[in-house]
């Protein structure tokens, strides 16, 4: 049924190379799976109406095929939890009585997702069916697995002519390709008919050189718009080199900033059929020229992109545009401190976590407050007058500084423990939360246990990220080199968590003289022991990612660059998915996810 596109992999290519985006280039093994080996799950739904956010699913039918053979079928009625419109009943034949005893979507959806797991979803007018399935996931708090999707309507528009079919309806195409099943607005029968249509369309696509799933997805993409063709000249004459590209309008305002190790190839892609993002097509309508900032290598380009986006706030960029909106966790400066989320970076030497999202910051605070009797109220307390108490004090979760149950000096010890939780060993926090998880699990309060587990995970991850950036900044100057594609080395001079200089050495040349010259010409950076602001932290994290690459070698480190043995980094990734307490093999409970 399918034309085979299998080929033996060349062992010389299996390690990969770097593509135009600076990521590992796909090997022959990763360029796509031959269509004869792809598992397709052809799905069809019947519903109470057309709007996914206002109507329910009444039936799901699916057929799983591979290599032209059926390997499984799935079919069930679904109780939509609402009356079916009589007009829909006349079309599908599905009545309220038929679905009255059927399982609800919360029971059917997990079974269908398991049936379809690992397969490419196929549907006729896929936007309709996928929209309902995604909305069902939202209603049942189920993660949508984001499978590849093929729409047979889109394929039919590319592969059939008006002279042979008057339209691309499922019934019309089923007749064209000789389906043994006639579509009848019942989910499983319609899915079976769509299988025949899919096979017929794939046979036609093979005549266009489409032999893998990746090629099939690309073939489904729309042709470039007239606007893209008209603006294609903006990519002319750009360098095939690493750098940052800036789309500018007639007033020379930056519209969009991007980065690539091959600027020319990346900018050309915006004028191809592969670019379907509406906001970037809107951007192209205003673009009048493309400015390029050439860089020595991909790291320098990535740093330059961060700085330019943060400084210019281009309207069509989303990520990294507002580092000043990132959040910090800190202690308030008052007689009875509390944990606070702040947009302003704390001063030098101040205990802090961050920067991060407000959601993660609040979760981290939740973990610390769950472990320590630090107050969570926002009232500014005075050591000279009493304030109203709250329920946390009544149940013993707060030491009630509002009622002067502790002195300022005694409460300072609690605040010091919170400061150590941000700057030092997180073990006391993890141990206390683990004890609480054990209590909740024993009481079978698993949802609450999962919330506490997620708070602990957010806290440990944030603490680890905070400590990593701090150690990089405190290390002073670091010189490192990574292997360059085509030979030579990509050199970076990092000073206090900022990129101060970058260069690339020629192939087979001694890199040390180049490194010496680069150190002399790199910019001077003010000595710091911690990140100064969110933009500084973002750049430090980008540098840390590069430094962690296996091909990068350290040439020189000015000061000690290390992490505390009892610090948060040893906990990173140690949070289990099971909210029950962690135990050793002998049953002894651990205060963290270690072994």
**E strand or H helix at 69:** strand 69-77
CB 319 within 8 A of CB 258: no
Q: Give exposure, 417-444, as e/b (b: 16+ Cβ within 10 Å).
A: bbbebbbbbbbbbbebbbebbbebbeee
CA 340 to chain CA mean position, Å: 27
For 11-219, CATH number out of 3.30.420.10, 3.30.70.100, 3.40.50.11810, 3.40.50.620 equals 3.30.420.10
Structure confidence at residue 273 (pLDDT):
62
Nearest C-alpha neighbor of 282 from the set 319, 235, 247, 323: 247
- Which part of the chain has CATH 3.40.1440.10? 226-319
**E strand or H helix at 511:** helix 511-521
Q: Which residues pair with 150 in a beta bridge?
A: 122
Q: What is Dmax (Cα atoms) for the chain? A: 90
pLDDT tens sequence for the chain (595 residues): 333 233 332 222 223 333 333 333 333 333 578 999 999 999 999 999 877 777 899 999 999 999 999 999 999 999 998 889 888 998 999 999 999 999 999 999 999 999 999 999 999 998 889 989 999 998 898 999 999 999 998 899 888 888 889 999 999 999 999 999 999 999 999 999 999 999 999 999 888 778 888 888 777 765 566 778 889 899 999 999 999 999 999 999 999 999 998 999 889 888 876 566 778 888 998 999 999 999 999 999 999 999 999 999 999 998 888 888 999 999 999 999 999 999 999 988 889 999 999 999 999 999 999 999 999 988 889 888 998 888 877 777 788 899 898 999 999 999 999 999 998 889 899 999 999 999 999 999 999 999 999 999 999 999 999 999 999 999 999 999 999 988 999 999 999 999 999 999 999 999 999 999 999 999 999 999 999 999 999 999 999 999 999 999 999 999 999 877 777 777 655 544 333 333 333 333 333 333 2
- Which part of the chain has CATH 3.30.420.10? 11-219
- The two beta strands, 489-495 and 498-504, are antiparallel
**Torsion sign, CA atoms 148, 149, 154, 159:** positive
Euclidean distance between CA atoms 217 and 422, whole angstroms? 47
Structure confidence at residue 180 (pLDDT):
95
Euclidean distance between CA atoms 586 and 186, whole angstroms? 56
Euclidean distance between CA atoms 350 and 340, whole angstroms? 13
Q: Which residues pair with 386 in a beta bridge?
A: none
Question: Class of the 226-319 domain?
Answer: alpha beta
Structure confidence at residue 328 (pLDDT):
97
Roughly what angle, to the nearest 10 degrees, separates helices 427-442 and 446-474? 170
Nearest C-alpha neighbor of 472 from the set 416, 356, 554: 554
Give the phi and the psi of residue 456 in degrees, each rounded to 5: -65, -40
Q: Which residues pair with 258 in a beta bridge?
A: 245
The CA angle 332-338-339, to the nearest 5 degrees, is: 85
DSSP assigned state of 212: B
- Report how far apart, in Å, the C-alpha atoms of 184 and of each of 60, 189, 192, 388 are: 14, 7, 11, 69
Euclidean distance between CA atoms 403 and 18, whole angstroms? 63
Cβ atoms within 10 Å of 512's Cβ, excluding its own: 11
- List the beta strands (DSSP E) in 249-333: 254-260, 289-294, 327-331
pTM for the complete prediction?
0.62
Give 534's contacts (C-beta < 8 A, 6+ positions apart): 323, 324, 325, 326, 345, 354, 355
Q: Which residues pair with 136 in a beta bridge?
A: none
Euclidean distance between CA atoms 266 and 95, whole angstroms? 53
Structure confidence at residue 275 (pLDDT):
66
CA 450 to chain CA mean position, Å: 21
Strand order across the beta sheet in which 339-342 lies: 339-342, 327-331, 352-356
Q: Which residues pair with 65 in a beta bridge?
A: 40, 70
Residues that are catalytic: 185
Q: Which residues pair with 63 in a beta bridge?
A: 42, 73
Nearest C-alpha neighbor of 295 from the set 364, 372, 239: 239
Token pair 């490194």 is found at: 515
Structure confidence at residue 224 (pLDDT):
62
DSSP assigned state of 346: P
């Amino acid at each position: 049924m399918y034309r085979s596109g299998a080929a033996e992999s060349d062992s010389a290519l299996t390690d990969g190379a770097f593509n135009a985006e600076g990521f590992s280039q796909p090997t022959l093994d990763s360029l796509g799976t031959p269509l004869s080996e792809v598992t397709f799950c052809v799905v069809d739904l019947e519903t109470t109406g057309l709007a996914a956010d206002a109507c329910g699913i009444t039936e799901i039918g699916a057929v799983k095929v591979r290599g032209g053979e059926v390997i499984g079928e799935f079919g069930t009625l679904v109780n939509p939890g609402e009356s079916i419109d009589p007009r829909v009943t006349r079309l599908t034949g599905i009545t309220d009585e038929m679905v009255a005893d059927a399982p609800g979507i919360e029971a059917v959806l997990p079974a269908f997702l398991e049936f379809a797991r690992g397969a490419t979803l196929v549907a006729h007018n896929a936007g309709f069916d996928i929209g309902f399935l995604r909305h069902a996931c939202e209603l049942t708090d189920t993660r949508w697995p984001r499978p590849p999707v093929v729409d047979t309507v889109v394929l039919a528009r590319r592969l059939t002519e008006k002279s042979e079919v008057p339209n691309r309806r499922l019934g019309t195409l089923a007749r064209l390709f000789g389906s043994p099943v006639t579509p009848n607005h019942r989910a499983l029968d319609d899915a079976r008919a769509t299988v025949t249509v899919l096979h017929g369309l794939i046979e036609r696509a093979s005549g266009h050189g489409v032999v893998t799933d990746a090629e099939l997805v690309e073939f489904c993409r729309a042709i470039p718009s007239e606007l893209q063709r008209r603006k294609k000249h903006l990519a002319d004459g750009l360098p095939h080199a690493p750098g940052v590209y800036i789309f500018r309008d007639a007033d020379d305002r930056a519209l969009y900033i991007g980065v690539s190790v091959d600027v020319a190839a990346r900018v050309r892609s915006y004028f191809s059929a592969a670019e379907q993002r509406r906001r970037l097509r809107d951007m192209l309508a205003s673009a009048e020229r493309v400015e390029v900032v050439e860089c020595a290598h991909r790291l320098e380009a990535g740093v330059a992109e961060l700085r330019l986006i943060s400084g210019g706030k281009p309207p069509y960029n989303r990520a990294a545009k507002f580092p000043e909106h990132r959040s910090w966790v800190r202690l308030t400066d008052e007689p009875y401190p509390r944990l606070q989320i702040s947009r302003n970076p704390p001063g030098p030497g101040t205990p802090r976590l961050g920067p991060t999202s407000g959601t993660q910051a609040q979760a981290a605070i939740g973990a610390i407050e769950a472990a320590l009797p630090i107050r969570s109220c926002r009232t500014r307390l005075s050591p000279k007058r009493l304030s109203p108490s709250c329920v946390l004090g009544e149940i013993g979760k707060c030491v009630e500084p509002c009622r002067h149950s502790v002195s300022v000096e005694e409460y300072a010890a609690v605040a010091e423990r919170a400061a150590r939780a941000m700057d030092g060993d997180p073990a006391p926090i993890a141990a206390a939360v683990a004890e609480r998880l054990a209590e909740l699990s024993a009481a079978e309060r698993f949802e609450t246990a999962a919330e506490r587990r997620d708070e602990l995970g957010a806290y440990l991850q944030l603490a680890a990220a905070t400590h990593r950036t701090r150690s990089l900044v405190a290390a002073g100057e670091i010189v490192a080199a990574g292997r360059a594609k085509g030979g030579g080395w990509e050199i970076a001079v990092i000073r206090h968590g900022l990129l101060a200089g970058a260069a690339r050495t020629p192939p087979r040349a001694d890199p040390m003289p180049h490194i010496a010259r680069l150190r002399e010409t790199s910019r001077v950076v003010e000595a710091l022991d911690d990140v100064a602001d969110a933009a500084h932290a973002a750049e430090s994290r980008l540098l840390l990612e590069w430094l962690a690459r296996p091909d990068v070698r350290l040439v020189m480190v000015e000061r000690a660059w290390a992490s505390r043995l009892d610090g948060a980094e040893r906990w990173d990734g140690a949070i289990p998915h099971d909210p029950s307490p962690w135990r050793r093999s002998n049953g002894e409970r651990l205060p963290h996810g270690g072994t």
